[in-house]
Amino acid sequence: MNNFAVKTEGLTKVYKDFWRRKSTPALTNLNLNVERGEIFGLLGPNGSGKTTTIKLLLGLLFPTSGKSWLLGYPSSDLKIKNKIGFLPEESYLYKFLNAEEILDFYGKLFDIQRKERKCRIDRLIQDVGLEPYRKRPLSQYSKGMLRRIGLAQAIINDPELVILDEPTSGLDPIGSYEIKELILEFKRQGKTVVLCTHLLADVQNVCDRVAILDKGILQVIGSVRELLSQKDAIEFLVRNLSDDDIHAVESFIRNKNGDVLSVCHPSSTLEDIFINIIHNRK
């Protein structure tokens, strides 16, 4: 027993080709510890082994070597899946059902009681903003709407550990903003979140710690703040200063032997502007 939300020890996966010969090493000797209650980012370029890691954790694939634990239990343990929510990297959903039916199906797989199930489904559909489309078959959903229903399905069992594989792919900026808010909400509720993505912007504002994979090998692991902070530099953000005052401050720093690297107006990100515009219109 260990008390990590996710723990892997020497996890390795080599895909075999048609003739069962080992061909592609997708993940090599991964050691990870994800604490309970943290938001953990698994980063890496395309084909770096993020999805492979998740499939190994969920038992969709079997490791070539190594072991993994979820919430303290071996990941092959079926019971543990009661406490896990999973959003696959694409929306693999039954297209002939509508939002209500599909959530009901997944709710039943968790053996959630009828009344409770109905209650959660109503709330989730509301939360992911699909209320107007709840009776529409998924075959008529847009990619982003599918993503939303996928997310709803991942948390229908009120999981302790949520594994999200590229949750923001296909979502509009509002959607990805909302997802980020949702992830922070999970953290407030004490859930653990494992977030796979290659969109660094997603990670920066949200994750407590990240691991960066490349070609299946773990490159870095650490807290976001630690990784990003430049220990030898410092930044001021000041308002209401005249040009003369700015020059005075600059020369004061020079006198103290400090290098002034840049003096500029802070720019907001395009994402901020987009969200501002959309919000103001509403």
Ligand X SMILES: Nc1ncnc2c1ncn2[C@@H]1O[C@H](COP(=O)(O)OP(=O)(O)OP(=O)(O)O)[C@@H](O)[C@H]1O
- Please say whether the beta carbons of 65 and 52 come within 8 A: no
Asked whether position 153 contacts other proteins by CB under 8 A, the answer is yes
Q: Which does 25 bind (CB under 5 to 8 A by kind): Mg ion, ligand X, other proteins, none?
A: none
Shortest distance, position 121 Cβ to Mg ion, whole Å: 28
Partner whose footprint covers residue 46, from ligand X, Mg ion, other proteins, none (CB < 5 to 8 Å by kind):
ligand X
Asked if 237 interacts with other proteins (CB under 8 A), we say: no
| CB nearer Mg ion, residue 63 or residue 107 | 63
What mask of x and - would describe binding to ligand X in positions 5 to 24, judged by CB under 6 A? ----------x--------x
The window from 50-58, 128-136, 218-226, 246-254 that contacts ligand X (CB under 6 A) reads 50-58
Binding mask 17-56 for other proteins (x = CB under 8 A): --------------------------------------x-
Q: Which of 18, 19, 62, 236 binds other proteins (CB under 8 A)?
A: 62
Examine residue 153 and tell whether it contacts ligand X (CB under 6 A): no
33 binds, among other proteins, ligand X, Mg ion, none (CB under 5 to 8 A by kind): none
Among 89, 127, 214, 271, the residue binding ligand X under the rule CB under 6 A is 89
Q: Which residues bind ligand X (CB under 6 A)?
A: 15, 24, 26, 44, 46-52, 89, 198
